[in-house]
Amino acid sequence: MELSERKKRLLAAIVERYIATGEPVGSKTLVDALGLSVSSATIRNEMAELSALGYLEQPHTSAGRIPSDAGYRYYVDYLMGRYELPPNEKRLIDAKLEPAAGDARKVLENAGHILAEMTHCAAVSTTPADEAAVVRRVELVPIGVRTAMIVMLTSSGLLKSRICKTLSELTVDMAESFYNIVNANFIGKPAAAMTVAKIQTLAVSLGEKSLSMTPLLVALADVAAMTERTELLLEGQSNLLGYREYEQNAYELIEFLRRAEAMDRVFSEHPSSENGNLHVLIGEENLFRELQNSSMIFGKYAIAGHESGTLGLVGPTRIDYARLIPSLRYITEIVGKILSENVEE
Amino acid sequence: MELSERKKRLLAAIVERYIATGEPVGSKTLVDALGLSVSSATIRNEMAELSALGYLEQPHTSAGRIPSDAGYRYYVDYLMGRYELPPNEKRLIDAKLEPAAGDARKVLENAGHILAEMTHCAAVSTTPADEAAVVRRVELVPIGVRTAMIVMLTSSGLLKSRICKTLSELTVDMAESFYNIVNANFIGKPAAAMTVAKIQTLAVSLGEKSLSMTPLLVALADVAAMTERTELLLEGQSNLLGYREYEQNAYELIEFLRRAEAMDRVFSEHPSSENGNLHVLIGEENLFRELQNSSMIFGKYAIAGHESGTLGLVGPTRIDYARLIPSLRYITEIVGKILSENVEE
DNA sequence: ATTAGCACTCGGGGTCAATGAGTGCTAATG
DNA sequence: CATTAGCACTCATTGACCCCGAGTGCTAAT
């Protein structure tokens, strides 16, 4: 559907003005704002046509127009200026993320922070996970007489650790058994294979040693489970409270965003991507009722080439797409880059 | 100020009813609810006196009474039933906290979760810290050719770790130097001594080795800093949105609760405690304006006998003190117990 | 000390009219 | 045929007004 140049110009102006002010835009305002040399009546005719095409709607007869979901969609796809993030904002982001480099979760927390701050939206993210990863290394670090730390590294560069208390004193013998079991059964295999069931059969085969080894093996299974289970991080929930559109129902939306299974479904329903690897879901384009008067932008970050997690923004449909998209794109890129640093080979 | 038995009974009934319904309580309702054998006029006289004493206030002349801050205070101090948490709730709490035992942060996250869920308030907590702690153990765990993990254990049982990348390959020689430096300079001394400045002087004294060792030492200083820096966790922010009293200004309160320095000041302004080690701050008793139409209950949990962090609840002044106080008390106790498990000797 | 009775207060809800921003339509214009 | 001036129309918002009812405080009687 090709619109006339003037219609495009008007639609863009209406979207941008509505994004900025949050108030319906009238024909008169528009003429003034654009400095057009035609009368408001002409603009009214154009606006009526844009309404008929479904790009604009009216809250009520005597109000101005606001963009419909389709209107935003047209704006995002064809009209929006594609602009590059200014260097000082890039530096700000880098400075916030770099220092956390050692800790993946922290990197994502910081990314959420700065996204929320820059965009006044809620920022969601998932910690990295990679189901295809295999166990590359397991270490048992003695911490005390009966306490040890189990550290596990996967091929995708994820590092997880956990404290573990043993029933009896931790001996060199036990450590040796532990490494033997790990090397024989788990190294080079998927972390997912390290199930509690598997651990139990192993424990049985250990005979008398089993009793003392069990806590170590249980903890090991637990660490393995951690590499698969992603965590959902949510930042800037309170930003949503500032928008008129959420005056009544912020609660429902926020509760939805906090539910990990729900968000996982949202993210996985849209596996591939078009817009420079970001997804833009506007209003009713969202599959979940709770999101249908919001817009969501999200993308995957890649660790060493593998898509490992998601970063996203949620706000009212009236968000500044032109600004948010480049911001989010840059941050997903940098997050991927930083998290890839810890992966070797 | 000793009140007559009937006044006490009335005040308690008004507080409890207002907590339950959120609506001002009138004399008639009160007579019915308590099944009193006196008329509403008598109760009105009593209520007028309670108002004069400052325990009740009226939103407007033709409405019932609601408790003032002083009214809640009297209720909490003298009238409130002190009841023990039912065993099934205790079990629920235990079941939620036990599995996280290996990870202090996770324990506190879960504690916040369950508190928020049980109380419909916002739950705040701080991760454990202990400025007096000395470094008990440091481990350098090789993870890859140029990647290592530094693990540090303090006398108070805190365990922190961090990934670290070196510039050149990680050699046995480097590891040896590292352990030498650590043993000679840090073990048995306060973690606070491991400053960047100190690290720098050490690096200088290393001469040519300095270049390769610096990343390790910097990471070490970072881990040391982590043992001191507490994190502020906030759960159940969205619970606040459900209360009428926060319809307008939830944003300001939530933003306040998220600010770590602010909350640290709140917690440290009230170092010692009376009410079975919990603090109860009602409305204007709070020193910070942002909290003055809220109530806050908080207490410290102790790891191996040392107060290490704080757990707290924030809600409107109209919260169910009688129920929340035992819940929070039990959870602080259990959190302390679980976190103490990792401390040896 | 308690109570019945009553006048009084005041917020909430409903109706009503005025206001004004913005529209759609029509007829005139170049 | 696109543009425009003009105008009637719509409808949310606002403020004035009134009524209702819950709840009060006071007084005089018990």
Q: What is the pLDDT of residues A273-330, one digit of tens each?
A: 555 589 999 999 999 999 999 999 999 999 888 888 999 999 999 999 999 999 999 9
Nucleotide nearest to A37 (CA to C1'): D3
**Among B259, B233, B266, CA closest to B113:** B233
Instruction: Write out the two tokens for B106.
Output: 């996770």
The pLDDT tens digits for B8-45 are 999 999 999 999 999 999 999 999 989 888 999 999 99
Q: How far apart are CA B12 and CA B321, in angstroms?
A: 12
Helices B172-185 + B196-205 axis angle, to 10: 120
Residues lying close to strand D (Cβ under 7 A), chosen from 4-43 of chain B, are: 24, 26-29, 40-41
Report in angstroms the alpha-carbon separations of B318 from B9, B141, B270, B284, B324.
18, 52, 22, 13, 12
Q: How far is B103 from chain A (nearest CA, A)?
A: 7
The per-residue pLDDT for A114 is 98
Pick the CATH number of A87-129+230-340 from 3.40.190.10, 3.20.20.20, 3.40.50.1980, 3.30.450.40: 3.30.450.40
Confidence at B134, pLDDT banded by 50, 70, 90: confident
Q: How far is B218 from chain A (nearest CA, A)?
A: 12
DSSP, collapsed to helix, strand or coil, labels residue B33 as helix
Q: Is the Cβ pair B164, A137 closer than 8 Å? A: no
Q: Which of B29-33, B203-207, B271-275 has the lowest mean pLDDT?
A: B271-275
Q: Does the nearest atom of strand C lie within 7 Å of A65's Cβ?
A: yes
Q: How far apart are CA A208 and CA A173, in angstroms?
A: 13
Kindly give, in sequence order, each residue whose CB lies less than 8 Å from that of residue B144, ignoring residues fewer than 6 positions away: A153, A344, A345
Residue A90 contacts B, CB cutoff 8 Å: no
Confidence at B273, pLDDT banded by 50, 70, 90: low
Q: How far apart are CA A74 and CA B297, in angstroms?
A: 51
DSSP letter string, A73-130: HHIIIIIS---PPPHHHHHHHHHHHGGGTT-HHHHHHHHHHHHHHHHSSEEEEE----
Cβ atoms of residues A313 and A325 within 8 Å: no
End-to-end CA distance of chain A: 50
Q: What is the mean pLDDT of chain A?
A: 91
In the CATH hierarchy, which fold is given to the domain comprising A135-228?
A: Enolase-like; domain 1 (3.30.390)
Q: CA–C1' distance B237–D12 (Å)?
A: 34
| B272 has pLDDT over 80 | no
Q: Which helix (H) or strand (E) holds A217?
A: helix A210-228
Using CA atoms in the order B197, B155, A226, B163, what is the torsion angle rounded to 10 degrees?
Answer: 20
Kindly give, in sequence order, each residue whose CB lies less than 8 Å from that of residue A343, ignoring residues fewer than 6 positions away: A156, A157, A303, A304
Q: What percent of chain A has pLDDT over 90?
A: 65
Mean of the pLDDT values across residues B49-61? 94
Q: How far apart are CA A50 and CA B297, in angstroms?
A: 56
Residue B241 contacts A, CB cutoff 8 Å: yes
Q: Which of A158-162, A271-275, B164-168, B180-184 has the lowest mean pLDDT?
A: A271-275
Instruction: Write out the two tokens for B42.
Output: 């008598």
Higher pLDDT, A71 or B82: A71
Confidence at B144, pLDDT banded by 50, 70, 90: confident
The pLDDT tens digits for A179-209 are 999 999 999 999 888 888 888 888 888 877 7
The pLDDT tens digits for A94-118 are 999 998 887 889 999 999 999 999 9
Q: What is the mean pLDDT of chain B?
A: 91
Q: Is the Cβ pair B147, A251 closer than 8 Å? A: no
Any idea where the domains of chain B sit in the sequence?
5-79, 87-128+231-340, 135-228
The per-residue pLDDT for A70 is 97
Confidence at A345, pLDDT banded by 50, 70, 90: low
Q: How far apart are CA A237 and CA A183, in angstroms?
A: 45
Site from A159, A166, A222 to mutate, B interface, most B CB atoms within 10 angstroms = A159
The yes or no reply on domain B5-79 and CATH 1.10.10.10 is: yes
Confidence at A226, pLDDT banded by 50, 70, 90: confident
Nucleotide nearest to A26 (CA to C1'): C22
The per-residue pLDDT for A10 is 96
| Strands A159-165 vs B147-154: parallel, antiparallel or unpaired | unpaired
Residue B237 contacts A, CB cutoff 8 Å: yes
The per-residue pLDDT for A1 is 59
Q: How far apart are CA B267 and CA B310, in angstroms?
A: 8
Site from B106, B117, B146, B147 to mutate, A interface, most A CB atoms within 10 angstroms = B147
Confidence at B196, pLDDT banded by 50, 70, 90: confident
**CATH fold match for the domains B5-79 and B135-228:** no
Q: Is the Cβ pair A151, B149 closer than 8 Å? A: yes
Instruction: Write out the two tokens for B118.
Output: 């049980």
Q: Which of B20-29, B51-60, B189-198, B230-239 has the lowest mean pLDDT?
A: B189-198
In the CATH hierarchy, which fold is given to the domain comprising B87-128+231-340?
A: Beta-Lactamase (3.30.450)
Q: How far apart are CA A164 and CA A178, in angstroms?
A: 13
Mean of the pLDDT values across residues B50-77? 95
DSSP state of B75: I
CB atoms within 10 A of CB A153: 26
| B270 has pLDDT over 90 | no
Q: How far is A256 from chain B (nearest CA, A)?
A: 11
User: Could you tell me how many residues make up chain B?
Assistant: 345
The pLDDT tens digits for A133-176 are 789 889 998 888 888 989 898 887 778 888 888 888 999 999 99
Q: How far apart are CA A156 and CA A135, in angstroms?
A: 9
The per-residue pLDDT for A257 is 98
Kindly give, in sequence order, each residue whose CB lies less than 8 Å from that of residue B304, ignoring residues fewer than 6 positions away: B156, B157, B340, B343
Instruction: Write out the two tokens for B148.
Output: 């290592």
Q: Which amino acid would we find at residue B266?
A: V
Using CA atoms in the order B199, B201, B202, B208, what is the torsion angle rounded to 10 degrees?
Answer: 120
The per-residue pLDDT for B138 is 93
The per-residue pLDDT for A306 is 85
Instruction: Write out the two tokens for B287.
Output: 């020193």
Q: What percent of chain B has pLDDT over 90?
A: 65
The pLDDT tens digits for B296-314 are 999 999 988 888 899 999 9
Cβ atoms of residues A216 and A174 within 8 Å: yes
The per-residue pLDDT for B9 is 95
List the beta strands (DSSP E) in chain B. Answer: 56-57, 66-67, 122-126, 135-142, 147-154, 159-165, 232-235, 278-282, 294-303, 306-316
Confidence at A126, pLDDT banded by 50, 70, 90: very high
The per-residue pLDDT for A21 is 94
CA B37 to chain centre: 45
Residue A36: exposure state from Cβ atoms within 10 A (0-12, 13-18, ≥19):
middle
